[in-house]
Structure 1
Amino acid sequence: MEKFSIALILFTVFWGFIGIGLPFLIPKGPHRRLIQTMLMLTSACCWLFWLCFYLHQWKPLFGPQLTSANAGVLRILWGTDF
């Protein structure tokens, strides 16, 4: 299994537990349904945010754009040879 699959499964299980398992553990009270809904929405949003962030780093749409002139200036300013 590659790193991508392991991370995807691990975080899906984690946020799945938060959004599906944890609402059943909330004690009875006047605001139980509100707390359950908050947990489910929070876990769904956090998982989706993590997924978008992770996929963006895994396969970026484009890399850094650096012209040869800018690279030459940076080489002079930083004093290093690449």
Structure 2
Amino acid sequence: MEVILTILFFTVFWAAVGLMGPSLVSKAHQQDLVRCIFLLAAVCCWLFWLCCYLAQLNPLIGPKLTQETVRLIAKAWNHPLKEG
């Protein structure tokens, strides 16, 4: 549930930047260019954030630990190993 809320929060945030950003800039003769820059920046930042966030949720490559390292970590954390 928190994953969906996080994605929704940042989507709303970058949508607000893209839609309300141009209103913060004075009315210039290049208003269309400014609007395009704000919208493109917001979309790129949102897409970059989404890719990084989703890559951390389900990594393709995990750490490769030897059995000895796993035993040392379990001993340091006072966690009994399940033999199997």
1:22 CA displacement: 2.6
Map residues 45-56 of structure 1 onto 2, 5 A cutoff.
45-56=44-55
**Structure 1 runs, 4 residues or longer, greater than 4 Å off:** none
Q: In structure 2, what is the equivalent of residue 23 of structure 1?
A: 22
Map residues 3-82 of structure 1 onto 2, 5 A cutoff.
3-68=2-67, 71=69, 82=76
Unaligned runs of 5+ in 2: 77-84
Unaligned runs of 5+ in 1: 76-80
| TM-score, reference length from structure 2 | 0.71
Matched-pair identity in %:
39
> Which range moved further: 26-35 or 11-20?
26-35
| TM-score, reference length from structure 1 | 0.72
Secondary structure, counterpart of 1:60 in structure 2: coil
Whole-Å Cα distance in 2 between the matches of residues 30 and 21 of structure 1?
A: 18
Superposed CA RMSD: 2.2
1:20 CA displacement: 2.1
How many residue pairs end up in the alignment? 74
Secondary structure, counterpart of 1:28 in structure 2: coil
Whole-Å Cα distance in 1 between the matches of residues 46 and 14 of structure 2?
A: 6
Whole-Å Cα distance in 2 between the matches of residues 66 and 41 of structure 1?
A: 42
